[in-house]
Amino acid sequence: MAEKRQVLKVRRTKSEWILAATLTRMQVEFDVQVPAGPYFLDFHIQPGKLAVEVDGGYDTDQERRAKDERKDRFLHYQGWLVMRFTNDEVESDTARVVREIITTRDAIIQARNERFRKDRK
C-alpha cells in the first residue's frame, strides 16, 4: 500500500500540484494520497476527516462517476466529509476552491470545539 501511495504522490495532476502549492502557501495542513480503506484520498485536510478530491474531465463518464459515488458513500460511512472539485475549477478559480476548503475545515473545527465544550459541562 505504501508503494502505491508513493506512485500516486508522484503522478499527481497539474490541478493537484496547483492546489497543493496554494494550500501550502495558505498554511493549510494537509497530506496527499492518504489511504482510507480500499481508496486513496487526493487530499486529507487536517485536522479532522475532510477529504478533497480533484476530478478530471474523465470523471464525467458514467463508469467513473459510479466509482466516485461508491468511494464517497464508503468515506461518508467512515465519517469523512468529501468535497469534490474539477480540474477546471482548481485551475481557473483556485482562490475560491481554497476559500471553500478553509471555510469547511473551520466549520468542522468549530463544531468539534462546541461538542467538546458541551461534553465538559
Residue range 20-45: average pLDDT?
Answer: 95
Q: What is the pLDDT of residues 74-119, one digit of tens each?
A: 999 999 999 999 999 999 999 999 999 999 999 999 988 887 766 6
- What's the angle, vertex CA 51, arms to CA 46 and CA 55, rounded to 5? 135
Domain 2-120 bears CATH identifier 3.40.960.10: yes
- 53, 86, 85, 87: which is closest to 70 by C-alpha? 53
* Residues 59, 86: Cα–Cα separation, whole Å: 9
Q: Tell me the pTM.
A: 0.84
Give the pLDDT confidence score for residue 10 in this predicted structure: 52
Going from N- to C-terminal start, the domains of the chain cover 2-120
Q: What is the pLDDT of residues 58-69, one digit of tens each?
A: 556 788 889 999
